[in-house]
């Protein structure tokens, strides 16, 4: 099974390297893949944000939604920016890659945060 995955994903790495050289932007985002055996590792895999246990995967795609890469799992109790740095995705992404506010400090393009409302 693992050999088949390596064979299939080998072309994805080539596509990712080619996509980086093309004009335009790439999108990176994290997703939590839930696991049902949450008691085996306890709180290590528990994501308070999602209120379930699981593993964080970083996904890279083009703006039109073409899937390019997915990272190995990181324990669910970690933020997306931690997983981004852990997998050294800055090697594949340039300063024009898009991400959301969870990637502040990563050097990626992120939306502007609105100012806190004064009450």
Q: Is 119's pLDDT higher than 60? A: yes
Token pair 């898009």 is at which residue?
A: 98
What is the mean pLDDT of the segment spanning 20-24?
66
pTM above 0.75, yes or no: no
Average pLDDT value over all residues in the chain: 77
Confidence label for 38 from pLDDT (cuts 50, 70 and 90) = low
Q: What is the pLDDT of residue 72?
A: 86
Burial tier of 46 (Cβ tally within 10 Å: 0-12, 13-18, 19+): middle
Q: How confident is the model at residue 36 (pLDDT cuts 50, 70, 90)?
A: confident
pLDDT of residue 62: 83
Reported as a single tens digit per residue, the pLDDT across 39-54 is 665 567 777 676 777 8
pLDDT for 31 equals 85
| H-only helix segments in the chain | 2-21, 80-86
Over the stretch 69-91, which tens digit does the pLDDT of each residue have? 888 888 877 888 888 899 888 88
The tokens for 37 are 């055996």
């Amino acid at each position: 099974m693992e050999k088949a995955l390596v064979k299939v994903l080998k072309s994805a790495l080539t596509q990712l390297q080619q996509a980086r050289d093309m004009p335009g932007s790439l999108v990176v985002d994290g997703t939590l893949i839930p696991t049902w055996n949450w008691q085996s590792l306890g709180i290590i895999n528990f994501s308070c944000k999602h209120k379930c246990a699981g593993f964080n995967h970083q996904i890279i795609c083009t703006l039109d939604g073409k899937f390019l890469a997915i990272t190995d799992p990181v324990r669910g109790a970690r933020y997306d920016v931690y997983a981004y740095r852990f997998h050294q995705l800055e090697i594949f992404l340039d300063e024009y890659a898009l991400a959301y506010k969870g990637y502040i400090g990563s050097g990626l393009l992120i939306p502007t945060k609105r100012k806190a409302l004064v009450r």
